[in-house]
Amino acid sequence: MSSNAELVALQRALYESRNPTRRWLHCTRRDWIVERLARLAAEGRRNALEIGPGSGVYVLRLARMFDRVTVSDVQDAFLDAARALTANHRNVTVVRDDIRRPALPAASFDVVLCTEVIEHVRESREALAGMRRLLRPGGVLLLSTPQRFSPLEICATIAFLPGVIEFVRRVYREPILPTGHVNPMTARAVRRQLAEAGFTIREAHTSGVYLPVLAEAGGEPARRLAAWLERRIRGGALDWLLWTQYYVAVAGGRH
């Protein structure tokens, strides 16, 4: 398997992990985002853009929900994966584009989906400004990104230190990808940058409890405990412990 194909395959495998907690963390995020996309489509929004499709988890869903879909990235592996998935979907266009300096037409999309991308971009302010530029006034950004100080984000940093990653792979007994997170942010930082870019937050959400050791060794009981804790933590003083933060944000009329 080529390195590009391997990268895509490893990302897809996250949603089918043998580890119950790992699988739950990713599938919970996917399901929340798909539900919000369906709501946005039901509101009559027709033209959608996905920035950074990864292995293509959302691409076919977008193709079914919206009249016109554009998929953009700067990495060939993900562009090729999106093209392969949508070969029979005439309403999907796949393009190379850098969201920090977008070449796509301004004010041309009703919905922008950007999930698990801005943590990979040091210039997140420029990226969010680029998303705002591409949205029509009243258009909606659906954004997700890890919380900077969540236990999973901290543990992931440690897990990929030299000498540690080999042990982690033996524990999970499946491929483990480096996160590549160069810019994880707190909720306060994301909210501030969204406001600076000209967005108003319509809805916010968090998900994902990670319990070190228990997540790796506790199987399904550990996953159920994590889900129970998630429901009690969300929205309270310890909300920052949850791994993923989500925003449904509306583009202002002028910016």
Domain count, the chain: 1
pLDDT of residue 157: 74
Mean confidence (pLDDT) of the chain: 89
pLDDT of residue 212: 86
Reply yes or no on whether the pLDDT at 115 is more than 60. yes
Interval 50-96: pLDDT, tens: 999 988 999 999 999 999 999 999 999 899 999 999 999 999 999 99
pLDDT band at 1 (very low <50, low <70, confident <90, very high): very low
Reply yes or no on whether the pLDDT at 10 is more than 90. no
Residue type, 242: L
What lies within 8 Å, CB to CB, of 148 at 6+ separation is 184, 185, 186, 189
Reply yes or no on whether the pLDDT at 162 is more than 80. no
Each residue of 96-107: b (16+ CB within 10 Å) or e?
Answer: ebbbbebebeee
Nearest to 11 by CA among 116, 128, 146, 101: 116
Do the Cβ atoms of 12 and 55 come closer than 8 Å?
yes
Do the Cβ atoms of 225 and 157 come closer than 8 Å?
no
Do the Cβ atoms of 208 and 243 come closer than 8 Å?
yes
pLDDT band at 253 (very low <50, low <70, confident <90, very high): low
* Residue 22, token pair as written in the block: 């790992």
pLDDT band at 161 (very low <50, low <70, confident <90, very high): very low
Interval 206-224: pLDDT, tens: 999 999 889 888 999 999 9
| CATH code for position 151 | 3.40.50.150
pLDDT band at 164 (very low <50, low <70, confident <90, very high): very low
Torsions phi, psi for 33 (to 5 deg):
-65, -45
pLDDT of residue 155: 83
| Residue 85 structural domain | 3-251
